[in-house]
A and B are shown apart, each in its own frame.
With several copies, the nearest count.
Chain A
Amino acid sequence: MTDTAVGPVRAHADGPARADEQHPTTRQPGMVQLLDEHGVRHHDPEHDLDLTPEELRGLYREMVLMRRFDSEAEALQRKGQLGLWAGSRGQEASQVGAGRAARRQDQLFPSYRDHGALLARGVDPLHILSIFRGIDHGGWDPVEMNVHPYTLVIAAQMLPAVGYGMGVQRDGAVGTGDPDRDTAVVAFFGDGATSQGEAAEALNWAAVFNAPVVFFCQNNQWAISEPVSRQSPVPLHRRAEGAGMPGVLVDGNDVLAVLSVVRSALDRARAGGGPTFVESFTFRMGAHTTSDDPTRYRLAAEVDAWREKDPIDRLRTYLTAEGLLDEEFEAELAAESEALAVRLREGVSAMQDPDPVSMFEHAYAEPHPQVTAERDEFLAAWEQHDADLHAGPHGGDA
């Protein structure tokens, strides 16, 4: 794969050479990159993609809104409106790129931090926040949206993702050539997840059955406090070799590269070409969650270095240099961000706690006498203590 700044793409004022010396980690041999951290566009015949100005601005807009969503959620957590927040700052290019690459019929199996991919699919952001408020485990309809519920058990969504793909095969929805029928699956997971035995089984099953699955690994360098070196002595995309499928390393802070790589992998899967492993090399800029304290285990310098590679900044630089962003667009986007923030704040504070008795509704599809009995017991006590509230002796919890 070649990788040079040529053709219609202007060399950036700073010049890539000098920049590479400053930030040696960005460019890796074999890493697909179309837009470097200085906003310089690079050509790669194998992975290049042609986007209209509209599409480029669309990606930019989505990343900006995703970041605003994230910071607003973090603020809501700080104000006690959410119980917890798993931030996605720094991973905008990865998530928006992968989310945009998927077609509407492609089934997404996200982890718990893949907000950008869900927003790209059109999931209502409030349906994500309800999880972190403790209302439910995801407000969206997984069938309608083709988005599986967030999975918190590390790697546990991967085998179901493969099975879904095996189902797609049995439905004859692979390799027909009909772009609206052929269907693929994206399994989202992190660097830490690659250590789980189930992750290895998922890769193997997909390879054995040639299932239409793209394994999208966001290597954000950390699994809570553990650096990726604790998960693997070799680059993660090399796991693909052992499993017998192509492995691609992509600059996860470059939305163009991610979009291109994931799109190709999905096309291949839909055409019946089988699974691909994509390692999206990125960084978790914030804490693991709002419960985490990263000062205990990582240096500010590392975060600072990655700030230089910010996915949004580089796209803005590029679009600006190309004359594709104007003040009007920026102003509109700022207003849209504000509106989103207001909607999130209002939406969250308007959220109703679920009716307690609803917890009894969905454990089983068909009646389970013990659950029914417990529900009746619960309801009786509930009514009783509603009455007691006015006259009764005890109330409240321990």
Chain B
Amino acid sequence: METMAIGRAINAGLRAAMDRDPRVLLMGEDIGALGGVFRVTDGLQKDFGEDRVVDTPLAEAGIVGTAIGMALRGFRPVCEIQFNGFVYPAFNQITTQLAKLRARSRGRLSVPVVLRIPSGGGIGSVEHHSESPEVLFAHTAGLRVVAPSSPHDAYWMIQQAIASADPVLFLEPERRYWQKGEVDTELAPGQVTPLHKARVLRPGTDATLVAYGPTTKLALDAAETAAQEGTELEVVDLRSISPLDVQTVAESVRRTGRLVTVSEAPTFHGPMAELAARIQESCFYSLEAPVKRVGGWHLPYPAARVEEHYLPSLDRVLDAVEQSLAA
């Protein structure tokens, strides 16, 4: 067991993957000498060289497009997109090539590329640095989309993502990079939770709270607060947006009868819509209240001084729980 921050845990996970497999390489803007704007790749270029930790030209389509080509040649590139709002120049490569090459070639081509994207807001940034675009990728068949919420998961999930034969979008919770926790680096492969499995973080009986990535801590805080008022919330960390582990959530909802979801991603046409649609179907007879969703508003992410009113807050989560309990 080691105590690490999430950013550090990803760094350690990358290092472990690079140590294990010489065909793993990193690409991105400023990931070399600088170690990335969040220092997630700190020290890796020094240790693995410029051919395996590649500072690239300032072009996201270039990063993803050439990563695809390297993957076709047998490498396993891990690309850093500097911030969530800068993934869009790469959208064509992600959507029309990365996601589809396996299907287009009827399984003959593999493009095991990982795209690491610092995601979500809450760090007082200027525009384009605080977005949660995950549903755009989750809707795109051929991609997998995951989001760790703890150092332990960050450490293992990045390695699982790299090991996956499918392309994986790996969303890193920007405002939790510095959140510390225990990492068990000694697990045997079989002991690690599968990449796409949701995890019940706190048992509860009155309602289920589902979150992922940066909102998982919020959900846990909400459960703690609610407990002080005598309400027992079960907290499920989704961990994966595509695929969705509907079963774990459904089992919880069948017990609690109520579901509140929390995401930084805007609610409207957002990732929790799918979860709500599936839960209302699979738990139709267990639900005692409609599924409630708490998320970002349907607005361009606002200026930093207002972001606390944009992001789901403890108040909004507890309000939604109250409404659910009252229904």
Contact = CB atoms under 8 A, between A and B. Distances in A.
Report if A and B touch in the complex (beta carbons < 8 A): yes
A370 B126 contact: no
B70 A163 contact: yes
A367 to B, nearest CB: 8
Contacts of B88: 153
A369 B126 contact: no
Contact of A297 (B33, B62, B315): B33
B311 to A, nearest CB: 7
Nearest to B218: A398
B243 A368 contact: yes
A360 B299 contact: yes
B102 A363 contact: yes
B286 interface: no
A71 B177 CA distance: 30
Contact of B65 (A159, A226, A365, A395): A159
Contacts of A192: 58
B73 A164 contact: yes
A234 to B, nearest CB: 13
Contacts of B267: 374
Given A83-B126, A193-B58, A371-B298, A225 B85 contact: no
Contacts of B218: 398
A230 interface: yes
A363 B299 contact: yes
Given A153-B92, A363-B103, A395 B315 contact: yes
Interface in B93-110: 93, 96-97, 101-110
A353 B307 CA distance: 11
B48 interface: no
Q: How large is the interface on A (under 10, 10 to 19, 20 to 34, 35 or more residues)?
A: 35 or more
Contacts of A133: 304-305
Interface string A322-359: 00000000000000000000000000000001101011
Interface string B256-295: 0000000000011000000000000000000000000000
Contact of A398 (B33, B125, B314): B314
A58 interface: no
A378 B297 contact: yes
Contacts of B245: 369
A136 B303 CA distance: 5
A235 B315 CA distance: 55
A360 B308 CA distance: 14
Contact of A363 (B89, B97, B141, B308): B141
Interface of B: 25, 29-30, 32-35, 37, 51, 55-59, 61-62, 64-75, 85-86, 88-89, 92-93, 96-97, 101-110, 124-128, 141-142, 144, 164-166, 196, 217-218, 221, 225, 229, 242-247, 267-268, 297-300, 302-311, 313-316, 318-319
